[in-house]
Amino acid sequence: MTAPCTFNNTTVPSRAVLNMKIIGAYEVEIKLECATKTFSEYTALAALAGPCNPVQLASGKVRVQTLGGTKASLVLNGTTYTNCYIKDISAAEADGMQLGLWIFTIEFVQETI
């Protein structure tokens, strides 16, 4: 299980880092696997998401185009990533082995311009 994680001061119940792509100050994408017994933790994060289209500029920096997505700080393992958006959040579903446990993935992208 990863250390405490938050986005926009909302708890991200992460249990594993699935992918972390960091290219200096140019590009940051982080995908987490999450698990919660409280469905409202999932819906609170889903409410912060919106259609998100990261575009890499000629300079190598990333601009994020979104409609309704929230720009906020992501804090993961004690490191703060500013100007992040939720790029994707999966539909939550109950795990068949542990009723009442909701498993989902969430992916963040940082606007670096």
Residue 105 has pLDDT above 70, yes or no: yes
Q: Residue 2's pLDDT is what? A: 55
Q: Residue 91's pLDDT is what? A: 79
In degrees, rounded to 5, the angle at the alpha carbon of residue 78 between the alpha carbons of residues 98 and 56 is 90
Burial class (CB in 10 A: 0-12, 13-18, 19+), 70: middle
Q: Residue 100's pLDDT is what? A: 80
Share of the chain above pLDDT 70, in %: 96
Residue with more model confidence, 27 or 2 = 27
**Mean pLDDT score, 100-107:** 91
Domain boundaries along the sequence of the chain: 5-110
In this structure, are residues 66 and 50 in contact, taking their beta carbons and an 8 Å threshold?
Answer: yes
Instruction: pLDDT band for 62, please (50, 70, 90 cuts).
Output: very high
